[in-house]
């Protein structure tokens, strides 16, 4: 008798285009699992509430029952959610990440043949971004211009800490940027571990440590420390390169780097964030796994997503590698301008599902979906975001695109 492996997965369809892309995607997920496992594995989808739909039904943007369901299942998948305007929760996504301490935002960025891109050689971009998800200016510690606390903070800075360079102390808002050694190291650890497991060549620490020495600069040094202390056999850092260069000269350092590469070690280097945004346009092939702080990661993810064809096709996951909690999500917003029109591309959510299946170890289902998407894109059978930029494309609605993928993966 064969036992059926059933996995309960809570899902939030999401607002705006969420419902459409979820419907199309769920059908594809189920079809891929049936095809891959012939009924031996199955997902029991459990809808949970969050966002506008939840607010309309329960008066709450993020009900406790939703968090309980994610706690119980450990993983969940979601579409985009409307950010509430004014009062209460600032952003449901940020709240979910903080409540479940999902410290790594993981975004693979690769090019699919056939996708319209603004760069000449988009296929050279193949990176995985690890963005720190719980610290930095996203901690939400901000004080407004007219808040009496702002005056208190400014007085404290000026009188107790001898700060003299607040340019306009009477009319400033103040924000605080906490970045810790612990928070940085758990993120960089996850990135290096991923790079080693996946046979990736390098991990680049992207930071703005030239200006923010004790926060962004800290991230860089603590990152190097993780590599040197926890992965000394499997990595070679550019900090070690510099040390060898200082003591034994450039030639010896270059030889050590070459030997490390030949031995298949992961090279750990660092780049200042503004330079990095230039580098990814000029030499994307030089970068592989990227580990970065929260705000830098926000900019970098969108820039890289645009390079390979935009947010309609960029997946993401928020993961706590210690507890195992993970939420897989479409990275775009609710797209209110096209909601309900069948124009949305479900690929971002579909590829987030691929990440989820990989996380579960259901690689066969993941591969079936990826190759169906690859085939559809090469054949120019696409949703309106791509069809409008391609000659001779076949325009499909969101639902038709999903159905077409099911036909392809059953071939
Ligand atoms: P957006 O990502 O919803 O839309 C930006 C542009 O991209 C629009 O022109 C939209 O039509 C297009 N687009 C987005 N997803 C698409 C898809 N799957 N296929 C084809 N085209 C797509 O960003 P916007 O307009 O800034 O935000 C709208 C709402 O979404 C806001 O309430 C915002 O707070 C929320 N939001 C939620 C996110 C999440 O839940 N992860 C992320 C970003 C925004």
Which structure tokens are listed for 290? 């990227």
**Structure letter (DSSP) for residue 110:** E
In 163-218, beta strands by DSSP E: 174-175, 202-207
C-alpha 316 – ligand 1 centre gap (Å): 14
**Whole-structure pTM value:** 0.94
Q: Ligand 1, closest atom to CA 337?
A: 11
Catalytic option among 208, 220, 265, 343: 208
Cβ–ligand 1 contact at 25 (below 6 Å): no
Confidence band for 94, pLDDT divided at 50, 70 and 90: confident
Cβ–ligand 1 contact at 279 (below 6 Å): no
> Quick count: other Cβ atoms within 10 Å of Cβ 410?
12
Mean pLDDT computed over 297-301: 95
Cβ–ligand 1 contact at 270 (below 6 Å): no
Query: Bridge partners of 271?
Result: 206
pLDDT digits (tens, 9 = 90+) for 251-275: 999 999 999 999 999 999 999 999 9
pLDDT-wise least confident of 20-24, 80-84, 88-92:
88-92
CA proximity to 240, closest of 308, 185, 254: 254
Q: Ligand 1, closest atom to CA 338?
A: 11
C-alpha 133 – ligand 1 centre gap (Å): 20
Q: Which residues, in sequence order, are CB contacts of 408 under 8 Å at separation 6+?
A: 371, 372, 375, 376
CB 203 within 8 A of CB 266: yes
Predicted pLDDT at 4: 86
Predicted pLDDT at 1: 62
Does residue 208 carry a catalytic annotation?
yes
Predicted pLDDT at 83: 83
Which structure tokens are listed for 381? 């059978």
Catalytic option among 30, 101, 274, 403: 274
Predicted pLDDT at 86: 64
First to last CA, the chain: 28
Does residue 126 carry a catalytic annotation?
no
Distances (CA, A) of 161 to 153, 155, 358: 11, 9, 50
Which structure tokens are listed for 271? 């780049």
CA proximity to 318, closest of 101, 46, 47, 147: 101
Does residue 288 carry a catalytic annotation?
no
Mean pLDDT computed over 32-59: 95
Q: Ligand 1, closest atom to CA 385?
A: 20
Cβ–ligand 1 contact at 313 (below 6 Å): no
Mean pLDDT computed over 287-308: 96
């Amino acid at each position: 008798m064969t036992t059926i492996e059933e996995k309960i997965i809570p899902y939030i369809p999401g607002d705006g285009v969420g419902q459409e892309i979820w419907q199309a995607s769920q059908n594809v997920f189920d079809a891929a699992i049936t095809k891959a496992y012939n009924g031996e594995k199955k997902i029991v989808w459990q809808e949970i509430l969050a966002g506008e739909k939840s607010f309309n039904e329960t008066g709450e943007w993020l009900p406790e029952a939703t968090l309980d369901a994610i706690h119980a299942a450990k993983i969940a998948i979601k579409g985009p959610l409307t950010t509430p305007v004014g009062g209460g929760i600032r952003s449901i996504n940020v709240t979910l990440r903080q409540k479940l301490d999902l410290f790594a935002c993981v975004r693979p960025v690769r090019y699919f043949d056939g996708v319209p891109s603004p760069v000449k050689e988009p296929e050279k971009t193949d990176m995985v971004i690890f963005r720190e998800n719980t610290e930095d200016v996203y901690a939400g510690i901000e004080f407004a211009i007219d808040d009496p606390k702002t005056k208190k903070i400014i007085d404290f800075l000026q009188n107790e800490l001898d700060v003299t360079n607040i340019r306009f102390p009477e009319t400033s808002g103040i924000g605080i940027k906490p970045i810790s050694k612990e928070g940085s190291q758990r993120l960089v650890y996850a990135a290096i571990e991923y790079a080693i497991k996946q046979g990736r060549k390098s991990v680049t620490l992207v930071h703005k440590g030239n200006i923010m020495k004790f926060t962004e600069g800290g991230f860089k040094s603590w990152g190097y420390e993780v590599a040197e202390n926890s992965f000394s056999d499997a990595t070679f850092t550019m900090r070690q390169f510099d040390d060898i260069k200082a003591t034994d000269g450039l030639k010896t350092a270059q030889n050590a780097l070459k030997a490390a590469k030949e031995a298949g070690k992961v090279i750990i280097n660092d780049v200042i964030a503004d330079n990095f945004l230039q580098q990814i346009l000029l030499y994307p092939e030089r970068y592989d796994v990227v580990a970065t702080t929260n705000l830098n990661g926000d900019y970098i993810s969108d820039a890289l997503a645009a390079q390979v064809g935009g947010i309609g096709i960029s997946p993401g996951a928020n993961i706590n590698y210690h507890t195992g909690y993970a939420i897989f999500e479409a990275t775009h917003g609710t797209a209110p301008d096209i909601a309900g029109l069948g124009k949305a591309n479900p690929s971002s959510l579909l590829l987030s599902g691929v990440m989820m299946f990989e996380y579960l170890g259901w690689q066969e289902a993941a591969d079936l979906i990826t190759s169906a998407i690859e085939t559809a894109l090469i054949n120019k059978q696409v949703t309106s975001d791509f069809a409008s930029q391609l000659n001779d494309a076949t325009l499909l609605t969101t639902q038709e695109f999903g159905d077409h993928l099911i036909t392809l993966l059953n071939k």
